[in-house]
Amino acid sequence: MMAGIFRERLLENRTAFVTGGGSGIGLRMAERFAEHGARVMLAGRKADRLNAAVSAIRDAGGAAEAAALDVRDYAAVRTALEKVHEQSGPIDILVCGAAGNFPAPVMGMSANGFKAVVDIDLLGTFNVLRAAHAYLRKPGGLVVNISAPQALHPRALQSHVCAAKAGVDML
């Protein structure tokens, strides 16, 4: 548990939906939300990572569920959000953190490689935002779109990420 800068159980009776929740920033955010009392739904493509994350959160005393899905699939995202809403009520915290990345020179990258990252990062964020709108607590729902420095500062071997994250920033 983190040092006591927040009151205990700050997020009790709150629900968080976190895409990219099986690893990295998304997982760390979900763990902190659960530590502070939120029910968390971790969403991502890799069921094994999600299940391990859910087990770890539960072992630490938190409440967590997993939804294996691809954020590029609007129907799958909507179905997962409906399930969360039916089980827990309005979503209080929405984190759009699913992302793809691989280093590649722009002239050495295929159109499919470029599209894959743009679709996961940008289209995926759009799909989650669009599908979640009906289920967010109003007023008071919180949305966090995870971006990256590449949105503002070009990086070598990252043109696909630069384009995708700039788009996320504009949403």
Helices 124-132 & 74-88, crossing angle to 10 degrees? Answer: 40
Identify the pLDDT of residue 56: 98
Place of tokens 């289920």: 135
Q: Return the domain boundaries, the chain.
A: 15-170
Identify the pLDDT of residue 8: 80
> Which superfamily is assigned to 15-170 in CATH?
NAD(P)-binding Rossmann-like Domain (3.40.50.720)
Segments of the chain with pLDDT less than 50: none
Q: Distances in Å between the alpha carbon of 64 and those of 19, 22, 38?
A: 13, 12, 9
Q: What is the pLDDT of residues 63-87, one digit of tens each?
A: 999 999 999 999 999 999 999 999 9
Identify the pLDDT of residue 165: 97
Identify the pLDDT of residue 7: 77
Identify the pLDDT of residue 2: 53
Phi/psi class of residue 80: alpha, beta or left (left: φ > 0; alpha: ψ in -120 to 50)? alpha
Query: How far apart (Å, rounded) are the C-alpha atoms in residues 164 and 118?
Result: 5
105, 154 in Cβ contact below 8 A? no
